[in-house]
Chain A
Amino acid sequence: MSADLVSTLQARFPRLAPRPSADHPAVNVPLEDVVPLLRCLRDEHGFDLLTDLTAIDWSPGATPRFTVVYHLLSTTRAGAYLRVAAPCAGTEEAPVAPSVTGLWAGADWHERECYDLMGVRFEGHPDLRRILMWDGYPYHPLRKDFPLAGIETELPAEDVAAETGTRVVAAPMAGGPFVASAGEINLTEAEPRAKDESWSDRAPQPGHTPLRQVKE
């Protein structure tokens, strides 16, 4: 059935090609064919649910660098899936893909997320702004050139800054998560509790009675 579907689609969209996949049928299409193909799939082949929309970053320098991937599911033909992939147009810094919000309203948030984390601009999206990161965040963190430990950024709190005259900065990441060495940190300075050395596990806290005495 899946080979049938691909050949039927190929008759209508000659530039469509099968895509290697470990499970569901998958096709590659050029970017211009995405919207007509998805409309045809939704209206004529019963793929009425857009379950997922995302992009893959093939790392800096690759051509194409970004591929958008759509997963369609049919609620009428029990459990039929289809994966549609298309390479993004535009430059490496600003990849572009057409919006499918006109076909599925649910694509709205998927495309916002994809723009937020990958930086793919969806043309024709009614309200393309960040969704998971805050407005004004300067990076697209799921790109391969974004470091895992993150990049320290100022937090956008103009109202706080205007009132207090102090700019808001994020808490220091102390080397960040997943970084093996903590960097050059003086723990006594970084950790306020460490400054108080009046008591420790050897010398008990003044006025504190241990709950349980361990017999030697």
Chain B
Amino acid sequence: MATDYNFPDSAARAAAAAQEAPGEFQTEKMSLAMGPSHPSTHGVLRLQLELDGETVTRADPVLGYLHRGDEKIAENMTYNQFVPYTDRLDYLAPLANNMAYAIAVERLAKLEVPARCQAIRVLTAEMARISAHLMGLGAFGLDVGAWTVLLYSLEEREKLYKLFEELTGARFTTSYTRIGGVTRDVPEGWLGRVGAFCDQFLPILEEILKLLTRNKIFMDRTVGVGVISRADALSYGLTGPNLRGSGVGLDLRKDKPYSGYEQYEFDVPVGTTGDCYDRYLVRGEEMRQSVRIIRQVLARFPDGPWYAPDARRIFAPPKDKILTSMEELIQNFMIVTEGPQIPPGEVYFEAENPKGVLGFFIVSRGGGVPYRLKIRSPSFCNLSILPKACQGILISDVVALLGSMDFVMGECDR
């Protein structure tokens, strides 16, 4: 009755075939499109992978799925009209982008904004850094299988978004800066609420980081994985936590301070090996340092005007003056219709954003519209190392590597 079936499994069959005909055992490489809609490619990055088994032999990133032609658009509108487009670059930290863009144009106009405006910008940029890193860490945890981190970090980010909403009117696309100032002063009691957020945030941050830092699974997935050497990081133009994770202590807030960063004390964390774990540690520490900066800003928050009052051809006058005075009405009309009047020249300004160094190269021929505006996107430069960094690693480590790079395609594709 009983029949003896003998079906060796496929691995055993392959091994047997290799034994029988050595040298004729053929394997073929597999081509795999990872993305553009894949949970670990954070948006619309597509990696065209060539695989030998589970090992990546070649990776070709395919970009452009989110290309909107921001640089072309910028050449066709006034300086202030472009502010909302900067929100949509690194949409996880719009306040930091707003600030970088405004400072770039102000440098071109040789315009100094008052201390209060600088303090507001530093404050919002650091809050944006915390919110971006929270998302970055949460998504990184998610990519390597740690669900809980995201739940905690999103809750904290939500608290920040509530504060952003109160300040700017929008949770996400804030468009908070104008050339020569910001859209409005901080609301009554808002600074106190930011301080209260910091007080309750630090213990929760420690709790979030505790979920990962000594987590065996997380360490197995990240320690020694996706190593980017110091020389490679410099050669590929990496910036931000990715460069610092590889041991280069470049932080423009320290090295080329802008917006009054020189007044604040903070440390620049630097990694040693340049693996995924180092990049994670750097981001975690940067959040602590951001809280430190925020507390210093709050402790000596300057009084005085929150926009450049003497920039009459650049920053629109207050609304009550527009409605009551002819001079201000004309001034407002000119700024709205023709844009802030910026002198001719070339300027390149870079700010230390959460994802890396965001740069604006602006060529002006005078008037209210830039002649050429180039956006130096940190995510674009950071991703350019992928063909090299993915070479020879396992496909599951590609996921960890991408998570640790913390990129945003809105900024990469522009």
Residues of A within 8 A of B (CB): 19-24, 26, 48-52, 54, 56-57, 69, 71, 73, 75, 78-79, 81, 83, 104-106, 108-110, 113, 117, 130-134, 141-142, 146, 148, 178
B280 to chain A, nearest CB (A): 22
Kindly list chain A residues whose C-beta atoms are within 8 Å of the C-beta of B73: 148, 178
Q: What residue of chain A has the Cβ atom nearest to residue B371's Cβ? A: A56
Q: Which listed residue (B64, B248, B361) contacts A69, Cβ 8 A?
A: B361
With A56-B363, A142-B72 already in contact, the answer to whether A78 and B346 are too (CB < 8 A) is no
Shortest Cβ-Cβ A-B pairs, 7 listed: A79-B256, A106-B237, A22-B345, A79-B255, A132-B64, A106-B236, A109-B384
Q: Please tell me if the beta carbons of A134 and B345 are within 8 angstroms of each other in the complex.
A: no
Kindly list chain A residues whose C-beta atoms are within 8 Å of the C-beta of B312: none
Kindly list chain A residues whose C-beta atoms are within 8 Å of the C-beta of B252: 79
Kindly list chain A residues whose C-beta atoms are within 8 Å of the C-beta of B345: 20-22
Known: A51-B381, A105-B385. 18 other contacts (CB 8 A): A19-B346, A22-B108, A22-B345, A23-B348, A48-B234, A49-B250, A51-B237, A56-B363, A57-B372, A69-B361, A79-B256, A105-B232, A132-B413, A141-B69, A142-B69, A142-B71, A148-B76, A178-B73
Binary contact track B364-390/A, C-beta < 8 Å → 1, others 0: 000000011010100011011100100
Q: Please tell me if the beta carbons of B71 and A83 are within 8 angstroms of each other in the complex.
A: no
Kindly list chain A residues whose C-beta atoms are within 8 Å of the C-beta of B324: none
Q: Please tell me if the beta carbons of B255 and A78 are within 8 angstroms of each other in the complex.
A: yes
- Within 8 Å of chain A (Cβ to Cβ): is B136? no
Q: What residue of chain A has the Cβ atom nearest to residue B356's Cβ? A: A51
Query: What are 5 A-B pairs at a CB distance below 8 A?
Result: A23-B107, A105-B235, A133-B64, A134-B64, A141-B72
With A21-B346, A22-B346, A132-B413 already in contact, the answer to whether A108 and B384 are too (CB < 8 A) is yes
Interchain CA distance A50-B376 in the complex, whole Å: 11
Kindly list chain B residues whose C-beta atoms are within 8 Å of the C-beta of A105: 232, 235-236, 384-385, 388
Output the residue of A21, A69, A83, A109 with the most chain B CB within 10 A: A109
Q: What residue of chain B has the Cβ atom nearest to residue A146's Cβ? A: B72
Kindly list chain B residues whose C-beta atoms are within 8 Å of the C-beta of A106: 235-238, 381, 384-385
- Within 8 Å of chain A (Cβ to Cβ): is B90? no
- Within 8 Å of chain A (Cβ to Cβ): is B293? no
B50 to chain A, nearest CB (A): 15
Q: What residue of chain A has the Cβ atom nearest to residue B386's Cβ? A: A109
Interchain CA distance A108-B383 in the complex, whole Å: 12
Q: Which listed residue (B110, B255, B357, B388) contacts A22, Cβ 8 A?
A: B110
- Within 8 Å of chain A (Cβ to Cβ): is B315? no
Interchain CA distance A110-B63 in the complex, whole Å: 13
Interchain CA distance A57-B256 in the complex, whole Å: 29
Interchain CA distance A141-B70 in the complex, whole Å: 11
Q: Please tell me if the beta carbons of B72 and A26 are within 8 angstroms of each other in the complex.
A: no
With A22-B345, A106-B236 already in contact, the answer to whether A52 and B376 are too (CB < 8 A) is yes
Interchain CA distance A146-B72 in the complex, whole Å: 9
Kindly list chain B residues whose C-beta atoms are within 8 Å of the C-beta of A23: 107, 347-349
- Within 8 Å of chain A (Cβ to Cβ): is B321? no
With A49-B234, A57-B372, A106-B381 already in contact, the answer to whether A75 and B250 are too (CB < 8 A) is yes
Q: Please tell me if the beta carbons of B63 and A132 are within 8 angstroms of each other in the complex.
A: yes
Kindly list chain A residues whose C-beta atoms are within 8 Å of the C-beta of B238: 106
Q: Please tell me if the beta carbons of A26 and B255 are within 8 angstroms of each other in the complex.
A: no
- Within 8 Å of chain A (Cβ to Cβ): is B67? yes
Q: Please tell me if the beta carbons of A51 and B357 are within 8 angstroms of each other in the complex.
A: yes
Kindly list chain A residues whose C-beta atoms are within 8 Å of the C-beta of B350: 51, 73
B186 to chain A, nearest CB (A): 29
Output the residue of B71, B235, B347 with the most chain A CB within 10 A: B235
Output the residue of A20, A23, A106 with the most chain B CB within 10 A: A106
- Within 8 Å of chain A (Cβ to Cβ): is B274? no
Q: Could you tell me which residues of chain B, from 307 to 365, have a CB within 8 Å of some CB in chain A?
A: 345-350, 357, 359, 361, 363
B333 to chain A, nearest CB (A): 20
Q: Which listed residue (A83, A134, A142) contacts B346, Cβ 8 A?
A: A83
B240 to chain A, nearest CB (A): 12
Q: Please tell me if the beta carbons of A22 and B107 are within 8 angstroms of each other in the complex.
A: yes
Q: Which listed residue (A79, A83, A109) contacts B381, Cβ 8 A?
A: A109
Kindly list chain B residues whose C-beta atoms are within 8 Å of the C-beta of A75: 234, 248-250, 255
Q: What residue of chain B has the Cβ atom nearest to residue A19's Cβ? A: B346
Q: Could you tell me which residues of chain B, from 155 to 177, have a CB within 8 Å of some CB in chain A?
A: none
Interchain CA distance A134-B65 in the complex, whole Å: 9
Q: What residue of chain A has the Cβ atom nearest to residue B71's Cβ? A: A142
B130 to chain A, nearest CB (A): 24
Q: What residue of chain A has the Cβ atom nearest to residue B382's Cβ? A: A106
Q: Which listed residue (A19, A57, A71, A146) contacts B359, Cβ 8 A?
A: A71
Interchain CA distance A52-B363 in the complex, whole Å: 14
Q: Please tell me if the beta carbons of B63 and A52 are within 8 angstroms of each other in the complex.
A: no
Kindly list chain B residues whose C-beta atoms are within 8 Å of the C-beta of A146: 72
Interchain CA distance A20-B108 in the complex, whole Å: 12
Kindly list chain A residues whose C-beta atoms are within 8 Å of the C-beta of B72: 141-142, 146, 148
Q: What residue of chain A has the Cβ atom nearest to residue B342's Cβ? A: A22
Interchain CA distance A178-B76 in the complex, whole Å: 9
Kindly list chain A residues whose C-beta atoms are within 8 Å of the C-beta of B63: 131-132
Interchain CA distance A212-B150 in the complex, whole Å: 38
